[in-house]
Amino acid sequence: RKGSSDLTLRHDDRLLGGLLVDGFDEESCHSRYQSAMYRRNPGRRPSPYLIAKLRRHEALQRRCGPGTAAYSDALEQLKSGKSVASPECRYIVSLPYQGLGNRILAVASAFLYALLTDRVLLIDPSDGMDELLCEPFLGATWLLPPGFPLAGYATFSNDTAETYGNMLRNKVIGADAAADISPAQTPAFAYVYLHSDASAHDKNFFWDEDQRLLRDIQWLVMRTDNYIVPGLFLANAFRGELDLMFPEPDAVFHHLGRYLFHPTNHVWGLVTRYHNAYLAGAAQHVGIQVRVFGAQPNSPELLEQITSCTQRHKLLSEVLAAGEPMTMPPPLASRAKSKAVLVTSLKPWYHEKLKSMYWEHAAANGEVVSVHQPSHEEFQRFGVRSHDAKAWAEIYLLSLADALVTTSQSTFGYVAQGLGGLRPWVMYKPDNDTTVPDPPCGRAVSMEPCFFAAPNYNLWKKQWLDASTIVPHVQRCADFAWGGLML
């Protein structure tokens, strides 16, 4: 299904096949209309159904979003603690948290849920997402305005009485799941908690019965650090719509990500200056994401994993041993045989080693290899704006590569591969720190992110299940056996 010309985009299509709309002020967000110029892999074409759905959603955000009478009414309703029979507008507030990759996947997930349930999407800007991302909806804001009246909404947890799971367990809702609940019983809001420590009741979110219960609740506040999209395919009520929106189910994040996530001008400056200075001149551009943790020592085994993965799959040339004669020394660096390697990592060591390797030794095939790393922040930092901006710029730079090598189970890499439309070579986690996995890496079957906590139990049916037996294009993830992945 891949590669036929009507499914891929043209290089010069600044609106990405109709995914984006004209009409935004270009100065306020350069990346929105410039990104197509920077991508060598133009990516997949969105379906007309998805495009129509997006246009309707933008109209919904304009009609019901902050600043409208409908929004003020809905806030009053929320303050009163009562629900109305058929609210004119319904909302989902997304509370992204954890690392940037997690936050981006969480926002994409909440957005798809908003599309499926005709809810206005609002994101909490308190973790700085507003400084990283441009507004995606023409003529409307997606930022939750200050003064949201739910006390403590930003820190709700497993124990909060109003989580969907607790309300279900305590029979506040859903005593008779088969029947619709009457408005008198409908709470004004519910917290949807889909973190790894969420209860079985919370995790039941994905079934039709649960969606029926949630439908009439005007305000939902969702917290997850996960890409829940494969789970959304489990509800019959959503599946038909999803199939129409995404005839290629392996491109869900690809489209949602390119629609939603435009770097702000500051971040776009980081991306474009780096790209133009170090990468744009090369014939080929390979991205290598080395996800390490602050306290981890430099690992010769991981370095070997990187070199054997890239050399085995011909992403990088082998090098000649010292003294080995070169077949034909290149007289002058020619662009045709040049390769720029972008390494991203919290640590500088892997980049330094690779760079020295291609300086001290000749590439066996004569190509010119330059190795670059924009930053090495040493530790993951929380709530530091400049740190997040660099992380976002590096994710984006990786997404511009022709070929990508990623570290398994990393949402940082998932976002890059999805935006880029790339199936990466994934470096598997070794069994222990002193071995190099064999094979060192494998080609991902899909560019989609893995849902690490795919639903595996249905409380209504009291049944354990494997999502892949319900939806054929949801499979287990190669890098995380319990996860769910779209093919």
* Total of chain residues touching ligand GDP, rule CB under 6 A: 19
- How far apart CA 246 and CA 118 sit, in angstroms, is 17
Q: Which range in 75-83, 183-191, 384-392, 434-442 contacts ligand GDP by CB under 6 A?
A: 384-392
CB of 197 to ligand GDP, least distance (A): 17
Q: Which is nearer to ligand GDP, 254 or 291 (CB)?
A: 291
- Considering the complex, what minimum distance in angstroms separates the CB of residue 108 from ligand GDP? 13
Residue holding tokens 């809702």? 173
Residue 318 as a binder of ligand GDP (CB under 6 A): the answer is no
- Tokens 């349930």 sit on residue: 117
When asked if residue 352 is in the footprint of ligand GDP (CB under 6 A), the reply is no
Of the candidate residues 99, 136, 249, 424, the single one contacting ligand GDP (CB under 6 A): 99
Nearer to ligand GDP, 265 or 386 (CB): 386
* Tokens standing for residue 422: 């790339």
Q: Taking the complex as a whole, how short is the minimal distance between the CB of residue 413 and ligand GDP, in angstroms?
A: 7
Distance separating alpha carbons of residues 426 and 444, to the nearest angstrom = 6
In 261-420, the DSSP E strands lie at 284-290, 338-345, 368-372, 403-407
Q: How far apart are CA 286 and CA 42, in angstroms?
A: 16
Q: Rounded to the nearest whole angstrom, what is the least distance from the CB of residue 98 to ligand GDP in the complex?
A: 6
Site for ligand GDP in 397-426 (CB under 6 A): 410-412
User: Which residue, among 101, 190, 127, has the nearest Cα to 153 in the 3D structure?
Assistant: 190
In degrees and rounded to multiples of 5, residue 183 shows phi and psi of -55, -35
DSSP run (H or E) holding 458: strand 457-458
Contact status: 345 vs ligand GDP (CB under 6 A): yes
Residue 181 tokens read as: 């609940």
Closer Cβ to ligand GDP, 68 or 380, answer by number: 380
Report the residue number, 317 or 344, with the smaller CB distance to ligand GDP: 344
For ligand GDP, the binding residue among 94, 375, 417, 446 (CB under 6 A) is: 375
| Beta strand 474-477 pairing with 463-464 | unpaired
Q: Are 160 and 221 in contact (CB under 8 A)?
A: no
Among 13, 162, 209, 377, binds ligand GDP (CB under 6 A): 377
CB of 196 to ligand GDP, least distance (A): 13
Smallest separation (angstroms) from ligand GDP to the CB of 269? 15
Peptide bond into 439 cis (omega under 30): yes
Q: Three-state secondary structure along 63-99?
A: HHCCCCHHHHHHHHHHHHCCCCCCCCCEEEEECCCCC
Torsion angle of alpha carbons 104, 109, 110, 116, nearest 10°? Answer: 150
- d(CA 237, CA 212) in angstroms, rounded, equals 9
348 — alpha (psi -120 to 50), left (phi > 0) or beta?
Answer: alpha
Which listed residue (46, 96, 101, 263) binds ligand GDP by CB under 6 A? 101
Backbone angles phi, psi at 233, to 5 degrees: -75, -10
- What angle is formed at CA 309 by the lines to CA 307 and CA 314, rounded to 5 degrees? 95
Which class for 280: exposed (0-12), middle (13-18), buried (19 or more C-beta within 10 A)? middle
What minimum distance in Å lies between the beta carbon of 101 and ligand GDP? Answer: 3
> What is the closest distance, in whole angstroms, from the C-beta atom of residue 354 to ligand GDP in the complex?
14
Closest residue to ligand GDP: CB criterion: 99
CB 211, min distance to ligand GDP, A:
28
Query: Can you tell me which of 36, 256, 391, 477 binds ligand GDP, judged by CB under 6 A?
Result: 391
Nearer to ligand GDP, 99 or 230 (CB): 99
Is the Cβ–Cβ distance between 20 and 51 less than 8 Å?
Answer: no
Residues 276-305 that bind ligand GDP (CB under 6 A): 291
Instruction: Give CA–CA dist 64/204, Å, rounded.
Output: 29
Q: How far is the CB of 99 from ligand GDP (least distance, A)?
A: 2
Instruction: Please tell me whether residue 346 binds ligand GDP under the rule CB under 6 A.
Output: yes
Rounded to an integer, what distance in angstroms lies between the CA atom of residue 186 and that of residue 199? 21
109 in contact with ligand GDP (CB under 6 A): no
Told to check if 479 binds ligand GDP by CB under 6 A, we report no
- Among positions 35, 83, 102, 408, the unique one binding ligand GDP when judged by CB under 6 A: 102
Q: Least Å distance between CB 287 and ligand GDP?
A: 11
Q: Select 411 or 475, whichever has its Cβ closest to ligand GDP.
A: 411
100 binds ligand GDP (CB under 6 A): yes
Q: Which residues, in sequence order, are bridge partners of residue 341?
A: 286, 371
Among 34, 41, 68, 98, binds ligand GDP (CB under 6 A): 98
Closer to ligand GDP by Cβ: residue 94 or 410:
410
- Segment interacting with ligand GDP (CB under 6 A) among 93-101, 194-202, 304-312, 476-484: 93-101
Please give the residue ranges that form the binding site for ligand GDP (CB under 6 A).
Answer: 98-102, 291, 344-346, 375, 377, 380, 387, 390-391, 394, 410-412
